[in-house]
Structure 1
């Protein structure tokens, strides 16, 4: 299982090869390339809360949705709060206007409704897309370190199982672009919180920095993959895009490197009807 970086109509994005091979789903992880925004939001800013030109954001959505093959009028989006709330997405969650405010706070979405496009955002935190090609169900979660410590990705798998009869061994997982252990340096509060909630098995993913006492590097993508294996996913069904958002400003924005003067990427997934 691997990823493909591709460009359609000038928009550059990543797709998970296993999702494509399984068929029945449209999806993509955005880069910052291919939109019309300018300044710190150049080019493909998909963040609806950024102080970007609204007309530019609309055009960016139009371009990205067309590039990955989803219906821009059937998006279900998240207002992310770095917790573990997961919403069951229905047609009632599609906003009359994609820039309307969202009246719920969640970091994950699940559905088995064809055509609905689950949409999550990232600019260092880890986007995870899940696809059950047998039971025809999908999920999308935003997993920063807090969400990872709360197990949001395996909770999405459990919700798919409870609602749609998904078998974890059938689920394909794509862990997308996000900050890597090369750039995610923290104080001991992050490794401590992760171990308190997830147990000592996370220790191999948290490494002390020799040159900076009391600081660590943390491999969030590695922890998420471990969590999904614990939830019953087959190792060969979990793939991780190794690209680090902080290392590649030519492709991504990074909150850690750029602060609030940046755009947001989106990851989207939709069952084909």
Structure 2
């Protein structure tokens, strides 16, 4: 990867002929003339110009490059040859995202301008600053279409892009759903995702990133595709789906009422509506009342934790739908555990005010090494995942990088494969890694380890100015004070995000940009087995 101090720009050149249109070498000459003009004028201030040539014929592209006098001495050239122009464009996007390039110029025939404008709008995010440079070629001849209507009989661009995304291989293994035994199956559909099984290739967001953020490189359609794949395994309708909009507070939205701009909790009694909470160190909590038939979800960062968002969800379930807190079941999902997260000394007071045991200055930090001992990010090499007691209060991260419960109760995590409904003891078995794009080529990203040098949050060890706190214990105590029974609170799915880089996203470990896993829950209208 080029130094981040270099000013880089990507130029994407479309050599595909428009559908039903005859082109010739003169048209390519005009495209290259536009590229040359860009290089001499608009791009002269850039340190590095990366040229991505989209074509169905690598031989024709190389000939065209040679005739245009383009060489690798003054510009870095990559020819992307495939029969699918959207696939070629997406490969170019993967490459420029790997290089962290945000400035993009796309050069095409004027007849293709509308098509590429739609593709760019769909597959770029707000991080990408793109412009189109189109070449008007009046001499183009068609086989029956005019410039105004030749797209009309072809598949809409949105559908073409969505269909293409479904063909991408799942990265880092198959999608997984980890479930808590506390929440009754059949009555409720619920679970926690991992980072495996999605299509995102950006290192710290690969691969099952499930939250769209405008400051990140994943476009909405990639997030939608990741959600679609998770929904297939999780058994929910991703088109009837609501997720928290984080403000790190205690605001709770009752689905169906006017939606606030930001909120960290959701509650509903509606059937077939999936609600979800995201996390990347913060705790995603799921709530289920099998008596009143009400569900809830909450995102509890440290601020939301001490403000009592978990308790506020229980209060809302009680006030709006008549839940008895004694009937409410709660599961806590993957989060950062004691020793791997801390707050400033003057911020510990709000934890100590809840209970002194919520501050754990002697907690042991987990591994200082993000990579496995052999330097790889192979899922098969990941250390055994932690055990946590369903009734235990917290877990610590030991020096080996695993998270151990304060009790030794066995609580195997349940993982469901997309191909078959199989219960897997994750203490002993791991999904095979998929470290290629499906055609033998290596992934554009190989995991979060490469980002440690540039991500302050990725450095090993708890910062010296921080004091460790226990988020899971704090939320447990708050829930118990709201009347939730201790035996109805499950922390077995609260594995340490920071200590398991091959399984979970973690902001504390990877810095920005980071991916998000989620916890989801719904009540199906037809009870399932």
TM-score, structure 1 normalization: 0.86
Shift in alpha-carbon separation, 1:212–1:91, aligned structure 2, 3 A: closer
Q: Does 1:34 align with 2:197?
A: yes
Give the deviation of 1:242 after TM superposition: 3.8
2:356 maps to which residue? 203
CA separation in 2, counterparts of 1:81 and 1:51? Answer: 21
CA separation in 2, counterparts of 1:209 and 1:238? Answer: 25
Q: Does 1:193 align with 2:350?
A: yes
What is the DSSP-based 3-state SS (H/G/I as helix, E as strand, rest coil) of the residue aligned with 1:135? coil
Q: Does 1:272 align with 2:524?
A: yes
Q: Does 1:177 align with 2:341?
A: no
Give the deviation of 1:159 after TM superposition: 0.6
CA separation in 1, counterparts of 2:284 and 2:347? Answer: 19
TM-score, structure 2 normalization: 0.45
Q: Does 1:228 align with 2:479?
A: yes
> 2:277, 2:297 within 8 Å by CA — same for their partners in 1?
yes
What is the DSSP-based 3-state SS (H/G/I as helix, E as strand, rest coil) of the residue aligned with 1:256? helix
**Aligned pairs for 1:20-99 within 5 A:** 20-21=184-185, 23-40=186-203, 41-49=205-213, 50-90=216-256
1:99 maps to which residue? none
2:489 maps to which residue? 238
Q: Which digits, 9 at most, give the CA deviation of each residue in 1:87-113, with x for residues without a partner?
A: 0012986xxxxxxxxx62100100000
**Which deviates more, 180-189 or 217-226?**
180-189
What is the DSSP-based 3-state SS (H/G/I as helix, E as strand, rest coil) of the residue aligned with 1:115? coil
Shift in alpha-carbon separation, 1:91–1:67, aligned structure 2, 3 A: farther
Greater RCO, CA 8 A, separation 6+: 1
CA separation in 1, counterparts of 2:253 and 2:349? Answer: 28
1:218 maps to which residue? 469
User: Which residue, 102, 111, 129 being the options, matches 2:286?
Assistant: 129
Q: Which digits, 9 at most, give the CA deviation of each residue in 1:158-211, with x for residues without a partner?
A: 11001111000000000111000020122213312333xxx2x42112022599
Give the deviation of 1:266 after TM superposition: 1.5
Q: Does 1:19 align with 2:183?
A: yes
What is the DSSP-based 3-state SS (H/G/I as helix, E as strand, rest coil) of the residue aligned with 1:250? coil
Structure 1: gaps of 5 or more residues? 1-8, 94-102
Shift in alpha-carbon separation, 1:192–1:113, aligned structure 2, 3 A: same
CA separation in 2, counterparts of 1:212 and 1:72? Answer: 39
What is the DSSP-based 3-state SS (H/G/I as helix, E as strand, rest coil) of the residue aligned with 2:276? strand
> 2:338, 2:470 within 8 Å by CA — same for their partners in 1?
yes
CA separation in 2, counterparts of 1:175 and 1:260? Answer: 24
> 1:90, 1:116 within 8 Å by CA — same for their partners in 2?
no
CA separation in 2, counterparts of 1:213 and 1:51? Answer: 32
**Which deviates more, 259-268 or 48-57?**
48-57
Structure 2: gaps of 5 or more residues? 1-172, 364-461
Q: Does 1:161 align with 2:412?
A: no
What is the DSSP-based 3-state SS (H/G/I as helix, E as strand, rest coil) of the residue aligned with 2:360? strand
Give the deviation of 1:127 after TM superposition: 0.7
CA separation in 1, counterparts of 2:192 and 2:326? Answer: 24
CA separation in 1, counterparts of 2:315 and 2:210? Answer: 29
Q: Does 1:252 align with 2:252?
A: no
CA separation in 1, counterparts of 2:350 and 2:507? Answer: 21
RMSD of Structure 2 on Structure 1 (CA): 2.1
**Which deviates more, 71-80 or 83-92?**
83-92
CA separation in 1, counterparts of 2:358 and 2:495? Answer: 17
Q: Which has the higher strand share?
A: 1
What is the DSSP-based 3-state SS (H/G/I as helix, E as strand, rest coil) of the residue aligned with 1:61? helix
**Which deviates more, 74-83 or 132-141?**
74-83
How many pairs are equivalent? Answer: 251
Larger radius of gyration: 2
Give the deviation of 1:13 after TM superposition: 2.2
CA separation in 2, counterparts of 1:159 and 1:54? Answer: 31
2:414 maps to which residue? none
Q: Which digits, 9 at most, give the CA deviation of each residue in 1:192-231, with x for residues without a partner?
A: 2333xxx2x4211202259987642111011101111111
2:412 maps to which residue? none
